[in-house]
Chain A
Amino acid sequence: MSAAVTPELARAFGLNDDEYARVQAILGRIPSLTELGIFAVMWSEHCSYKSSRIWLRKLPTEAPWVLHGPGENAGVVAIGEGLAAVFKIESHNHPSFIEPYQGAATGVGGILRDVFTMGARPIANLNALRFGDPAHPLTRRIVDGVVRGIGGYGNCVGVPTVGGEIDFHPAYNTNPLVNAMTVGVARADRIFLSRASGVGNPVVYVGAKTGRDGIHGATMASAEFGADAETKRPTVQIGDPFVEKLLIEACLELMETDAIVAIQDMGAAGLTSSSVEMAGKGGLGIELDLDRVPQRETGMTAYEMMLSESQERMLMILRPGREALAERIFRKWGLDVAVIGRLTDTGRLVVRHQGRIEADIPLGPLATEAPVYDRPRQAPPPPPPPGEAAAQDPVGLAAALERLLASPDRCSRAWVWHQYDATVGGETVKRPGAADAAVVRIEGHLLALALTTDCAPRYCAADPRLGGAQAVAEAWRNLCAVDARPLAFTDNLNFGNPEKPEIMGQFALAIEGMAEAARALDFPVVSGNVSFYNETEGRAILPTPVVGGLGVLEDAAQARGIALAPGLDLVLIGATQGALGQSLWLREILGLQAGAPPLLDLAAERRCGEFVRAEIAAGRIAASHDLSDGGLLIAVAEMALAGNTGVSLLPGPAGLPPHAFWFGEDQGRYLLATSDGAALLARAEAAGIAARLIGRSGGRDLTLPEGTTISLASLRACHERFFPAFMEGSG
């Protein structure tokens, strides 16, 4: 490429006129094409967080157990016994629409690298997915590709995929969300960071060769799609999980030595962002000689190499004299390794190629002069009230239960889970569907981590502040439900175009809600990712701030699942007002997306969660399930199906319509199974916790309070029908 650099070209690269003027002021001249490309990606929304930065500062990021918060490749928390959990969630939404298999696969690959870059062996993957209306012609193909891509990558690298979530809504019709989360474990005193040090130290490239794939992927992820979205396919990267597996093993082997000063994966904006961030954080300069970069194609230009997003590559700063050691380990694993530059004291990024200087940029201003925007915002109007209709139940409990259990948002996800290897590693204590959070034990220890992803976008759309807080509270609740101590979360903030005030309004309010819940629950955020511009042809997705929560169990054997056994009392913990606003019942039975979402009482949330954990820890609880989408009766049915054990239900309170009691989505509630319900009720009362005996387990039927009986076999058929029928045209 040798196009002349003009303001028009800068605009085509995604820099506005003001930003392009800043580039010229920093350089004191017109940039070269390579320099323009470097500024464009580093100042893209994806890399610079220019629209979100001032808001992200409002989130609490500290706690005594937080070792590294946002700003590193991933968050790090101490989990006891000298160990640390390293985790992050990241979106790959735009690529997953253009090319679902590769988009999802490389999303998994990218987040894995963020975690093992820090010295942690990945032990679990999760995925938060949002798809369009099942009736939309593209949805089936996107679901198929995304699920195959996640499995294809995760299964091959040998990291178990243990959890996540899937929802459908027309707002995601041409803008699916693929948020991939990885959790790893490292020694707390052996965490590797990206801050370069040591003038003269070698800059070493390892991993796969560089090709022309993914050039300007970060810029693509920072713009809306038009009708021509499919023509953007060449900017999607291609993943190779086999190379990733080798890279994991080689990096972890080298990390056992003292060779590495700093390390950073080449993710979005590849060689550019990794070299700029490492040298920039260290306050140093860096010189790169692109002739030494391992290349997969011939005739690549400096521009192409600096902007390539070829996968499975890492950049390291080594101690002097350790090059041969690194080379021996990487060659053993069959990977390319090359010294491609060195650190300098100039504070500049200097890129050489074929005897020419292709870029010479001062790193300080590239970071400090990066645009930061306080964009105009406008709070969304409150949703219409549900009206009188919600007061009546037109179908009855049994029919509503069957319809909700069969609905795409609440039906069994087994068809999906059965394509993800959840058992590799031999440490998966609670697999997908077995408990509210996945539980994975740490090899050689009793310790286990509990992991979950949560967000209710319909709540966020109706009330972004409440919805943001609810996502945090629900993740915290899911961790408590398995008896984990919640430690911290990672967030993936998926929104529309931030240049629109109503989108920026949603974003700011959601952050405020998340911050409030995080503070109230001592549950800080330690890493995350913002994905804006989730719009196609001017239509935005629902605001979707996904929370990836992590907690710790001192003994994996304590973990509780949802499966019922016979002969147990079922006790509802937490207060029920019968909140039907924005509920699944309202949507699936009355066809209404209306009303205010359920209120959140964060003090009660915390009290209930701590009570539940104490009860489980005391060995008194056989099964435990939080109440979420669809409310109490859905939770009962899920526990019954998981344990293949029936339940006889008692009538609800006299003051509430039955459908509001059984399908209301009041927050902060759990359903516990115990051999002595009366004793549990007494302890709850003593602790000032609302509790109510709602039924007893046994038999092979679900008996509703008004006497209707549904066999588990028939419930299971409802629950398991959707995915096989939708995806395979069978079942």
Chain B
Amino acid sequence: MRVGVVLFPGTNRERDVLTAFVRAGAPRPRLIWHEESDLAGLDLVVLPGGFSYGDYLRPGAMAALSPVMTAVRAFAARGGYVLGICNGFQILIEAGILPGALLRNVTLRFLAQDCHLRVERADTAFTRHFQKGAVFRAPMAHGDGNYFADPATLARLEGEGLIAFRYTPPAGELAREANPNGSMNHIAGIYSANLRVLGLMPHPEDLVDPVIGGEDGLPLFTGLAEALAA
């Protein structure tokens, strides 16, 4: 499996992603500078977390216009796998690769705390090592993660099974207090129609080691490593 991790000015969780793939037994990903536009040979492109361009204008808005994103858009259209985490999810939305919008957290404050994510389907390259309906813990760290979409888009996402993860309590039921940023339908992550692009706000890459507090996020990376092994 060949993974590329894109580095924008202001990206700050790229090393976390590299570490997670290495812990998952995957080859060390290659870093891709935002001015590059050649993604040939890659199986998966990761847009990691951070504050690309300082979140100025809107989170992800400026990164969405960088040369590498033209290449990522084409890569995704060709059926390439793309994972956007936190700021990466914001960039995928600003670039029009995933639908909807990520608004300010309903608390109007930055939220840095653990949340629990329910796995809505376990038959994708990203979730094959989870059980459907399983709940796992992940740190969240964002100011703008409040997922919003118009009713038609929301109905399509729900109808086509494109919700990847929802915020829930540990037991997995839906509860307002377990949805701290106020996302519609408790949405924490969504897929593209072909299930090959995943965007999510929380950080499974920061919980892949018992010494750090758990391996809850590791199945995402081992699953990808297995699915894309070649």
Interface residues of A (CB under 8 A from B): 148, 151-152, 155-158, 240-243, 245-246, 333-334, 414, 417-429, 431, 441, 443, 556-557
Q: Does B169 touch A at the CB level, under 8 Å?
A: no
A441 touches B212 (CB 8 A): yes
CB < 8 Å neighbour of B20 from A241, A414, A426: A426
**Closest-CB distance, A15 to chain B (whole angstroms):** 39
| Closest A-B pairs by Cβ, 7 of them | A158-B12, A242-B54, A426-B16, A421-B141, A423-B139, A156-B51, A423-B206
Task: From known contacts A246-B9, A418-B112, infer whether A425 and B211 are also in contact, taking CB-CB under 8 Å.
Answer: no
**Closest-CB distance, A124 to chain B (whole angstroms):** 14
Interface residues of B (CB under 8 A from A): 9-10, 12-13, 15-16, 19-20, 49-51, 53-56, 109-113, 139, 141, 143, 203, 205-206, 208-213
A424 touches B12 (CB 8 A): yes
Q: Most chain-B Cβ atoms within 10 A of its Cβ — which of A151, A419, A422?
A: A419
**Closest-CB distance, B97 to chain A (whole angstroms):** 24
**Closest-CB distance, A333 to chain B (whole angstroms):** 7
**Distance, CA A391 to CA B154, complexed state (A):** 66
Task: From known contacts A242-B56, A424-B16, infer whether A155 and B211 are also in contact, taking CB-CB under 8 Å.
Answer: no
CB < 8 Å neighbour of B112 from A148, A152, A422, A556: A422
A156 touches B141 (CB 8 A): no
List residues of chain A with CB within 8 A of the CB of B54. 156, 240-243, 245
Task: From known contacts A241-B54, A333-B9, A429-B211, infer whether A151 and B203 are also in contact, taking CB-CB under 8 Å.
Answer: no
B211 touches A158 (CB 8 A): no
**Distance, CA A241 to CA B15, complexed state (A):** 19
- Nearest B residue to A417 by beta-carbon distance? B112
Task: From known contacts A242-B53, A426-B208, infer whether A158 and B13 are also in contact, taking CB-CB under 8 Å.
Answer: yes
B211 touches A151 (CB 8 A): no
B10 touches A242 (CB 8 A): yes
A418 touches B9 (CB 8 A): no
List residues of chain A with CB within 8 A of the CB of B109. 148, 419
List residues of chain B with CB within 8 A of the CB of A422. 112
- Nearest B residue to A432 by beta-carbon distance? B112
A426 touches B112 (CB 8 A): no
Kindly list 8 other residue pairs between chains A and B, CB separation below 8 angstroms, not including A148-B109, A151-B112, A242-B51. Answer: A151-B110, A156-B12, A158-B51, A241-B51, A421-B110, A423-B112, A424-B13, A429-B212
- Nearest A residue to B22 by beta-carbon distance? A444
A424 touches B211 (CB 8 A): no
Task: From known contacts A418-B111, A428-B212, infer whether A423 and B203 are also in contact, taking CB-CB under 8 Å.
Answer: yes
List residues of chain A with CB within 8 A of the CB of B139. 423
A245 touches B51 (CB 8 A): yes
List residues of chain B with CB within 8 A of the CB of A427. 212
**Distance, CA A333 to CA B10, complexed state (A):** 10
**Distance, CA A155 to CA B56, complexed state (A):** 14
List residues of chain A with CB within 8 A of the CB of B20. 426
Task: From known contacts A242-B54, A441-B212, A557-B211, infer whether A424 and B10 are also in contact, taking CB-CB under 8 Å.
Answer: no
List residues of chain A with CB within 8 A of the CB of B49. 424
**Closest-CB distance, A356 to chain B (whole angstroms):** 38
Task: From known contacts A242-B51, A334-B9, A426-B212, infer whether A421 and B112 are also in contact, taking CB-CB under 8 Å.
Answer: yes
Task: From known contacts A155-B112, A245-B10, A423-B139, infer whether A443 and B19 are also in contact, taking CB-CB under 8 Å.
Answer: yes
Q: Most chain-A Cβ atoms within 10 A of its Cβ — which of B56, B206, B210?
A: B206
**Closest-CB distance, A184 to chain B (whole angstroms):** 15
A426 touches B19 (CB 8 A): yes
B206 touches A418 (CB 8 A): no
List residues of chain B with CB within 8 A of the CB of A443. 15, 19
B206 touches A424 (CB 8 A): yes
Task: From known contacts A421-B141, A556-B211, infer whether A426 and B205 are also in contact, taking CB-CB under 8 Å.
Answer: yes
**Distance, CA A455 to CA B113, complexed state (A):** 27
**Distance, CA A65 to CA B203, complexed state (A):** 37
**Closest-CB distance, B29 to chain A (whole angstroms):** 14
**Closest-CB distance, A355 to chain B (whole angstroms):** 37
- Nearest B residue to A156 by beta-carbon distance? B51
List residues of chain B with CB within 8 A of the CB of A240. 54
List residues of chain A with CB within 8 A of the CB of B9. 242, 245-246, 333-334
- Nearest B residue to A335 by beta-carbon distance? B9
List residues of chain B with CB within 8 A of the CB of A418. 111-113
**Closest-CB distance, A148 to chain B (whole angstroms):** 8
CB < 8 Å neighbour of A441 from B205, B210, B211: B211
Q: Most chain-B Cβ atoms within 10 A of its Cβ — which of A152, A245, A414?
A: A245
A158 touches B50 (CB 8 A): yes
List residues of chain B with CB within 8 A of the CB of A426. 13, 15-16, 19-20, 205-206, 208-209, 212
List residues of chain B with CB within 8 A of the CB of A148. 109-110
Task: From known contacts A155-B112, A426-B20, infer whether A245 and B212 are also in contact, taking CB-CB under 8 Å.
Answer: no
**Distance, CA A155 to CA B206, complexed state (A):** 15
- Nearest A residue to B53 by beta-carbon distance? A242
- Nearest A residue to B138 by beta-carbon distance? A423
**Closest-CB distance, A562 to chain B (whole angstroms):** 14
**Distance, CA A528 to CA B210, complexed state (A):** 35
**Closest-CB distance, A162 to chain B (whole angstroms):** 11
**Closest-CB distance, A454 to chain B (whole angstroms):** 23
A419 touches B212 (CB 8 A): no
- Nearest B residue to A246 by beta-carbon distance? B9
B141 touches A155 (CB 8 A): yes
A419 touches B10 (CB 8 A): no
**Distance, CA A422 to CA B114, complexed state (A):** 11
List residues of chain A with CB within 8 A of the CB of B51. 155-156, 158, 241-242, 245
